[in-house]
A and B are shown apart, each in its own frame.
Chain A
Amino acid sequence: MRAILKIALGIIAAIGGFLDIGDLVFTTQAGALFRYDLLWAVVLGVVGIAVYAEMSGRVAAVSGRPVFDVIRMRMGFGMGLLALVASTIVNVLTLAAELGGIAIILELLFDAPYGMFVFAAAVALVVIVALLPFGGIERFFGYGGLLLFVVVATVFHQNPDWGEVGRGFIPSIDSSTLYLYFVVGVFAAALMPYEVHFYSSGAIEEGWTEENLKENRLNAIVGYGVGGILAVALVIVSGYLFHPLGVEPDNLGTVALPMQGAFGETGLLLALGGMLFCVGGAAIDSSFAASYNLAQFLGWEWGRYQGPRKAPRFTASWLVFLLLGIAIAESGINPVDITEYSVVLAVVALPLTYLPVLLIAGDRSFMDRYANGRIATFLGWLYFAVIVVLALAAIPLLLATNAGGG
């Protein structure tokens, strides 16, 4: 009974912790611009992250090695260093965007200067990390993120044309560069590299072994799957309300407007609260991912469970990354713009993250009977092919569409 409860709690945390500022921005903009036409891209991204999270969690549980350890082992020092540099840039940009996102939401709730809230957000994260154990941090943000289920309630309140919604799940390709840019953005926002870095290192933090493989599979498939429902709901509510009005949601605050329209102030507060927890959780994940990668690559002692005394360089690097994130967020650049660049740059770094995971998870000499089966192998290579195509297209599309500005 206790084991089932633990698994259920893990799944709930994964649901609430699925969305970050990139998902919030890209899914809402996708709905506003293309109504329900990009729902299929959301599903494509959610299945992709579930496939690779399951693999990285399995590798970590079986071998005791997190993703970055695997990258260096499989790709060697040179390629490992390239992956480290690329993922660190993306992680720090993501962290800055998430810190900026927290500050914007606090500004909307309390109407005080943005700059002050960036700093306050960083201090709050340090306090939470200092006070809570690893599992507690995950659950705090994951459960809080469940407030965003108000978006699902809003879908039913709006009662859209369900036939039209259903057609959005059928893949379609529009020749416009803006549409293709949003396909890349929506897909990449779901597969941000920090998610698997954090997920696999978290498995080591929580001491997973082969016994936790069922928990790993359920967390990855059910947790991310149900979390994906939130992303789908965001596209629908945005498509329903914003598309006919021609609204271009380039402010984080706009994301909450449909919930205000449906349920008044209560809907607004639930949406802003859920966004705050989701974005806060992603700030923790991306900052930890940056430190995990660096420590694992350089062979330092690492892990929240070790504490600052046993892992001083890991802790110091976490604080340095946090300061870098604060500096970028305080620079005055709109966090939504930072998000768009970090998501698109992440696509370029994706092959460096996911190929080693795929190779190791399928290696029978390393994983023994826990190596990828037929379905995982097929899905893994299929997604890797998609990732490579999108990685090649990402930068030209970013330039051609002026970062989605048209």
Chain B
Amino acid sequence: MTAPGRKRAWPTILALVLATLLLAVSGCGDLSNDELNRGVESLSALAAQGELVANGVARDATKTTYARAMARTLSEQAEHEAEKLADATLEEPETADQRHAAVAVAEEIAGLLSTLQTFPGDEHHAELVEKHLGEAGEKADAIVAQLSGDAP
């Protein structure tokens, strides 16, 4: 026999547990400094990956279908990261400038990768994209340094 009150409590407990798990998995809520840091680090990683793809095109050492599909995927990821950073509420409002700069870098990376997607067989374009992605990656690294207090 189960007490009536206890019987009613189970669905609530289950719902709370599920909600907690979903929150844990989705990572919802305000954007902490650490999460902002990780977001910017992932931009640096995307730029580095894009540089490798662009380098393959610049050296004429890849297949255009591969370069185009990879550039598209990475560009979408950068755009998604830009949206995520722009939409989030900051836990520490004093990092607003870094967030703003990170969104700009994400958009820059997305744009450069879109160019690579449009010209996956053009060695000259790829050289420029590789160079600019390297610079965008450095900007992302600088933001990470500011967020972690390592900036000069």
Interface residues of A (CB under 8 A from B): 107-111, 241, 245-249, 251, 253-254, 256-257, 260-261, 264-265, 268-269, 272, 399, 402-403, 405-406
Write the nearest CB–CB distance from B107 to chain A, whole angstroms. Answer: 20
- What are 22 A-B contacts defined by CB distance under 8 Å? A108-B66, A108-B70, A109-B65, A110-B65, A111-B64, A247-B48, A249-B49, A251-B74, A253-B69, A254-B70, A257-B49, A257-B52, A257-B56, A260-B56, A260-B66, A265-B61, A265-B62, A268-B63, A272-B66, A399-B21, A399-B25, A405-B27
B41 adjacent to chain A (CB < 8 Å): yes
Give every chain B residue within 8 A of A254 (Cβ-Cβ): 49, 70
Q: Is the CB of A108 within 8 A of B45?
A: no
Give every chain B residue within 8 A of A260 (Cβ-Cβ): 52, 56, 61-62, 66
| Cβ-Cβ contact count across A and B, 8 Å cutoff | 77
Residue from B21, B63, B64, B74 having most chain A Cβ neighbours under 10 A: B63
Give every chain A residue within 8 A of B59 (Cβ-Cβ): 264
Interface string of B47-76 (1 = CB under 8 A from A): 011011101100101111110111001100
Give every chain B residue within 8 A of A399 (Cβ-Cβ): 21, 24-25
Q: Is the CB of A248 within 8 A of B25?
A: no
Chain B contact surface mostly: helix
Write the nearest CB–CB distance from A230 to chain B, whole angstroms. Answer: 21
What class of interface size applies to chain B in its complex with A? 20 to 34
Give every chain B residue within 8 A of A246 (Cβ-Cβ): 41, 44-45, 48
Q: How far is the CA of A261 from the CA of B52 in the complex (A)?
A: 8
- Give 6 A-B pairs besides A268-B66, A402-B25 with Cβ atoms closer than 8 angstroms: A245-B45, A245-B49, A248-B42, A260-B61, A260-B66, A272-B66
Residue from A246, A268, A406 having most chain B Cβ neighbours under 10 A: A246
Write the nearest CB–CB distance from A336 to chain B, whole angstroms. Answer: 11
A264-B61 contact, Cβ under 8 Å, with A111-B69, A272-B66, A399-B25: yes
Q: Closest residue of chain A to B70, judged by CB?
A: A253
List residues of B (24-53) whose CB comes within 8 Å of A's CBs.
Answer: 24-25, 27, 38, 41-42, 44-45, 48-49, 51-53
Give every chain B residue within 8 A of A261 (Cβ-Cβ): 52, 55-56
Q: CB < 8 Å: which of A108, A245, A248, A264 contacts B65?
A: A108
Q: How far is the CA of A251 from the CA of B53 in the complex (A)?
A: 13
Write the nearest CB–CB distance from A196 to chain B, whole angstroms. Answer: 30
Q: Closest residue of chain B to A399, judged by CB?
A: B24
Q: CB < 8 Å: which of B48, B61, B64, B73 contacts A251?
A: B73
Q: Closest residue of chain B to A400, judged by CB?
A: B24
Q: How far is the CA of A251 from the CA of B44 in the complex (A)?
A: 16
Give every chain B residue within 8 A of A265 (Cβ-Cβ): 61-63
Give every chain B residue within 8 A of A248 (Cβ-Cβ): 42, 45, 49
